[in-house]
Amino acid sequence: MSSINERFGISLGERYDIHKLKTYKHSTLLRLAKKSPEVLIWNNRYEAYWRPNGCGYTKDSAQAGIFGFTAAYAATMHVDKTHRIELVTINFATEKKEEQK
């Protein structure tokens, strides 16, 4: 099983609990979406990421779907709190360093 870093040259960053995000002001959500436009969706209940298009789960971050922040937020709003959904930001710093070389 490869990691997302090995497969795409990126690493995972901060995690945001979807139910806590519901309490944020709209301007704060927009700032987060701009700062981290793409995220992975983590389901703590199943201890797995959502696959692309929300088609099942995987424990392998390299097989996880990459979602736009606002699309991920909208897609997970209905999920029960017991799943403890988190949006996991993607850090592209590794990729950008390679481009500068």
pLDDT tens digits along 76-95: 988 999 999 999 998 875 44
Distance of CA 82 to the CA centre of its chain: 18
pLDDT tier, 99 (very low <50, low <70, confident <90, very high otherwise): very low
Provide the whole-model pTM.
0.79
For position 3, what pLDDT does the model report?
Answer: 59
Name the more confident of 32 and 7: 32
67: how many CB neighbours lie within 10 A of its CB? 23
Q: State the average pLDDT over residues 31-48.
A: 92
13 pLDDT higher than 50: yes
